[in-house]
Structure 1
Amino acid sequence: MAADNSVLLGLVEEFVSGQVDSKAAETTTGVKTGQFTVLQLVEALGFSLTSSQPQTRGRGVQLLSQVLQECYSSLSEREVEVLIAFYENRLKDHYVITPHVLQGLKALTKCSVLPPGSAVSILKSIFQDVHVQSLMVTDRSCVYNILINLMESREEELKGLGADFIFGFVQSVDGERDPRNLLLAFQGARNIIHRGYDLGKFVEELFEVTSCYFPIDFSPPPNDPHGITQEELILSLRAVLAGTSQFAEFLLPLIIEKLDSDVQSSKVDSLQTLDLGFILVIK
């Protein structure tokens, strides 16, 4: 084991101090083949995680997160518990470390052995310690994926948060502009209203944070590699706005206002949204 530890320490040193990104793949292979464990990796990262330099601490967390993205499915519940506590603590660290922390948490939220209570713990840490809209596009996407992962696997835990979850969600997606992230935000909002989450006193806030995009006005840039269409965004938002009768008192005035628009597509979108809303209410 001493030989393995020396190998691991060498990989960590080269990645963190030598800025050799390829060592992440080698470290991942070592974990996958059983040469060393994820918790041994955390131990080997000790020198970087206690560094006075935020960039050095960030490189250490980055290495761990990159390994977890490939190895999360083999973790035990105890390992997941330790890693979640580690990452939640790191969310309080320097802002340059936050993106790497979020990547690690995203990997952990995919674990089938996520310990009871950890979903709530993760979300409370993010809502408290991360200002989502000050993050870069990819990091905001990471937060939305964490939310969606936990909604898929730990729904009852999240519902136990009550209106606090709705408030945190609203704060997280407020002001989003990237179309890729908007699809994720709309997906999260659909989950909330279609799966019976208690909106509490935040019904209007959830409506406002999504309806501000209505009607969708989006033209994908030429040669868009993401392939997101205006129709995709329209249908996704429509499913949110017309998805619950709790939105009716806010949706009807909005549609009436948009029907006065000189833009034909805006009128059509308004009528189709109203039509879907009536269908869902009748059902």
Structure 2
Amino acid sequence: MGATEEPSRLVHQLVAAAASENPTADIALQLALLLDLRDLPLLEFVKVLGPTLTSDDVGLRVVAVRCLAETLARLLAPVISKQDVSVLVQFLTAKLEDEKLSAYTLNALASLVRVCTFVPYLSGNLDALLARLCSSYDPRKHLARVRYEAFVLLDAVMEKHNDALAALPALADAYITAFIHVASGEKDPRNLLLSFLLNRRINGTVAFDARSANAAHNYFLAKLFDL
């Protein structure tokens, strides 16, 4: 079997397993290892997934994004270039408009922001992600388990890019706006716990201006207090 046939076979196996609700972890791990060893270029992986990622069948689209998310979560080496990161940010944030894909899209984005080549200010990566989270993801349309993935994404951003949020006021404002959007109206106990922890970390990271001097910060502080 040729070198290019093995990755393609594994990708098709992963898609088939996910579509059949069979275990996928072992296959995703094998693909992640091929990516780690650079035996499979990331763009080739996405290319093989392509027909399912853009299928008219929503079930196939869900399977494809799940496969991408599970593979990204298992990467160990910094195999995703900065350019690849920007391409994936654009691709995945656009998928937020497809409500059926939301859980796996949010999961994939959380894995992406954790890679060392995700630079928050490069190509407006983090700004674009946070803006699309506000405009294309509506928590009211999703079950608690999907909403949890949005909190996990915001937690990943805070964990990996805390310094950028502390140093760049505009980026911090965008993050807080996204957090308020995600957390408002939340009732699920598990989600509320993560919301509380993120709220506390925001207050420990962001240097808010005096409420009388900054209307936006006055609004943020009032909303954060209510959440």
Q: TM-score, normalised by structure 2?
A: 0.79
Aligned to 1:15: 17
Aligned to 1:104: 108
Alignment of 1:26-65 (within 5 A): 26-33=27-34, 34-65=38-69
Q: Is this contact kept in 1: 2:199–2:224, CA < 8 A? A: no
Q: Which has the higher contact order (CA 8 A, sep 6+)?
A: 2
CA displacement, residues 93-139 of structure 1 (integer Å, 9 cap, x when unaligned): x2111111011011112112212422222111111110124322222
In the alignment, which of 142, 148, 151 is matched to residue 149 of structure 2? 142
Following the alignment from structure 2 to structure 1, what is the Cα–Cα distance between the partners of residues 31 and 220?
A: 49
Q: C-alpha displacement at 1:9, in angstroms?
A: 4.8
Q: Is this contact kept in 2: 1:80–1:114, CA < 8 A? A: yes
CA displacement, residues 16-67 of structure 1 (integer Å, 9 cap, x when unaligned): 6x52533452143133145424332211111112211111111111111011
Moved more, 172-181 or 70-79: 70-79
Q: CA RMSD in A?
A: 2.5
- In the alignment, is residue 128 of structure 1 matched against residue 148 of structure 2? no
Q: Which amino acid aligns with 2:87?
A: V
Aligned to 2:89: 84
Following the alignment from structure 2 to structure 1, what is the Cα–Cα distance between the partners of residues 15 and 175?
A: 40
Q: Is this contact kept in 1: 2:31–2:71, CA < 8 A? A: no
| Number of equivalences | 208
Share of identical aligned residues, percent? 21
Following the alignment from structure 1 to structure 2, what is the Cα–Cα distance between the partners of residues 135 and 90?
A: 15
* 1:120 partner SS: helix
Unaligned residue ranges in structure 1 (runs of 5+): 211-283
The change in CA–CA distance for 1:20 and 1:35 in structure 2 (over 3 A counts) is: farther
Aligned to 1:200: 217
Q: Is this contact kept in 2: 1:24–1:63, CA < 8 A? A: no
Q: Which has the larger radius of gyration?
A: 1
Following the alignment from structure 1 to structure 2, what is the Cα–Cα distance between the partners of residues 86 and 72?
A: 22
The change in CA–CA distance for 1:9 and 1:179 in structure 2 (over 3 A counts) is: closer
The change in CA–CA distance for 1:162 and 1:109 in structure 2 (over 3 A counts) is: closer
Q: C-alpha displacement at 1:162, in angstroms?
A: 5.2
Q: C-alpha displacement at 1:10, in angstroms?
A: 3.2
Alignment of 1:1-283 (within 5 A): 1-15=3-17, 19=20, 21-33=22-34, 34-71=38-75, 73-76=77-80, 77-92=82-97, 94-117=98-121, 118-155=125-162, 157-158=164-165, 159-161=169-171, 163-198=173-208, 200-203=217-220, 205-210=222-227
Q: TM-score, normalised by structure 1?
A: 0.65
The change in CA–CA distance for 1:187 and 1:25 in structure 2 (over 3 A counts) is: same
* 1:167 partner SS: helix
* 2:20 partner SS: coil
